[in-house]
Amino acid sequence: MNTISQNKLRLHRKRRVRAKISGSASVPRLNVFRSLLSMKAQVIDDIVGKTIVAADTKAAKVKNDVAGAKAVGVLIAKKCAEQKITKVVFDRAGYRYHGKVKALAEGAREGGLVF
């Protein structure tokens, strides 16, 4: 019996979600990437295809844990406020909404982003 890797399943979920959501200049997409070494977040305008704002655990100078993910969320919200972005569409990229992904989202909400 063949088994499918967890990452292939995640990428399948990601494609399914990305078919339904998209970011624009007025409401960009907040994308999350989680790895074993870092947690990254980007605010993307899909119409132009450009990253507007980005933050990760290295930029926030925190560890790659739940508290660090929350700090990345606060940092991305602060950078968005500088660019006058208040509303975004949250893209969890196929990851489950708990743990570090949930902490990043809560940190972004605390920082002032609405989604």
Q: What is the dihedral of CA 22, 84, 59, 44, to 10 degrees?
A: 20
Global pTM value = 0.90
Residue range 30-46, pLDDT digits in tens = 999 999 999 999 999 99
Q: What is the pLDDT of residue 65?
A: 95
Measured distance CA(78)–CA(97) in Å, rounded: 22
Domains and CATH numbers, the chain: 6-111 (3.30.420.100)
- Model confidence band, residue 24 (pLDDT cutoffs 50, 70, 90): confident
pLDDT for 78 equals: 96
| Rounded CA separation 39/70 (Å) | 10
Residue type, position 27, single letter: V
